[in-house]
Structure 1
Amino acid sequence: MITSETAAQAWLAALPEWDPAAAERIACLIALLAEENARQNLVAAASLPVVWQRHIVDSAQLLTHVPRETSRPWLDLGTGAGFPGLVIAALRPDCEVVMVESRARRVEWLERARIALGLDHARVVGARLELVESRPFSVISARAFAPLVRLLDLSARFSTKDTLYLLPKGRSAQQELLELRGWNHMFHVEQSLTDPEAGVIVGQLLGKKGKKS
């Protein structure tokens, strides 16, 4: 369990994706976040002193579940302040990361940050997810986007049986998974590295129950 900013930075430094360029992008992201947070409430002010734990590693830990191919398209739902989408894109700049966000000020922030970090393969889609054109993605992530059943209803059209879902769910992870009905799936809960009471739902969505594949 990562319990300090020093430990968080050490954990990141051990990632295969970490190099001087990645370090520069993450440092830039943190500086931009602090500056923008004074203008709009992107994250809780109390989380800024522990930004490496609370936002950077909390996002980057998802990479430990994904093979390192950089060409895998990644869909991040309700990216908001940029987590995990901007962190994933900063650590894997050759990966196509599509960040969907419907709130105009958040969309503006994400686009400014994307440009400042030089994330040419990342894209910000400013729309409600219901209005985004369907296409398959290899990875789908969402942090504090919607309850699990609603999230699956909205995102299933972007997934195949091989799509990997990575869903940080905080303390509700196990309970939401236990209460999930109507879907065939191969989900399980992984312990979060940044919160002893939090979990990440990981796995594949196989389709609606009662429907032929």
Structure 2
Amino acid sequence: MIASEDQARAYVAGLCDSVAMDRLNRLIGALAEENERQNLVARATLPSIWQRHIADSAQLLEYVPRETGPWLDLGSGAGLPGLVIAAMRPEWPVVLVESRRKRIEWLERMRDELALEHCRIEGVRLENVDSVPVGVISARAFASLERILALSARFSTSETLWLLPKGRSAAQELQELPKRQRALFHVEQSRTDPASGIIVGKLAGRKA
């Protein structure tokens, strides 16, 4: 379990190279500055930003093969986890979906400042994003599990990996799914919070 900023920083450094770590440091500095203008993250979490936000996002990479299809991040907000993933894997196509204007402007600015050429911002509601098959779907504090699946199944094939950090509600939300869907997912322990879980799984459906 990651229990300190030093541990969190070391953990993330083990998942990427020094160039990516430089991007993340720049992202952290910009996020703290932007947080004075708009509430991207809770102010109380800034002193533990590596643990609470960066490592918490980066841990999703442990479930994903080194080569993967497009990564779709729903309700990206501050860029968690999508912008962190794009900064750590700049060669991957990462699509960030966000409908709030100020958040869109923030994500576009950071994409440009960090030179993330394969990162795309969809500045619309998810319902208005064109249906395309993706390799990974992630969402952090976006909606209930049932609603995420209902809104996003059209992007999923039988090979699409769903990675949904759900905090302390993970097990409960999974139990609320219909039995047939529930069997396709499981809860993994978060590395950054002993009480939090990540819902992981694949929907049965169309071939890639």
Structure-2 residue corresponding to 1:137? 134
CA distance in 1, matches of 2:13, 2:70: 24
Helix, strand or coil at the partner of 2:73? strand
Match of 1:79 among 63, 76, 79: 76
What is the RMSD computed on CA atoms of the aligned residues? 1.0
Structure-1 residue corresponding to 2:55? 57
CA distance in 1, matches of 2:95, 2:173: 25
**Structure 1 length-normalised TM:** 0.93
CA distance in 2, matches of 1:183, 1:195: 29
Residues 155-190 of structure 1 deviation map (CA, whole Å, 9 limit, x = unaligned): 000000110000000000001101101753521000
Asked if 2 retains the 8 angstrom alpha-carbon contact of 1:171 and 1:198, the reply is yes
What residue identity is the alignment partner of 2:57?
S
CA distance in 1, matches of 2:204, 2:180: 7
Helix, strand or coil at the partner of 2:97? strand
What residue identity is the alignment partner of 1:100?
V
Asked if 2 retains the 8 angstrom alpha-carbon contact of 1:187 and 1:202, the reply is yes
What residue identity is the alignment partner of 1:6?
D
What residue identity is the alignment partner of 2:186?
H
Extract unaligned runs of 5+ from structure 2.
none
Report the Cα offset of residue 19 of structure 1.
1.3
Residue 9 of structure 2 corresponds to residue 12 of structure 1? no
Asked if 2 retains the 8 angstrom alpha-carbon contact of 1:186 and 1:205, the reply is yes
Asked if 2 retains the 8 angstrom alpha-carbon contact of 1:183 and 1:205, the reply is no
Report the count of equivalent residues.
Answer: 204
Structure-2 residue corresponding to 1:168? 165
CA distance in 2, matches of 1:182, 1:110: 37
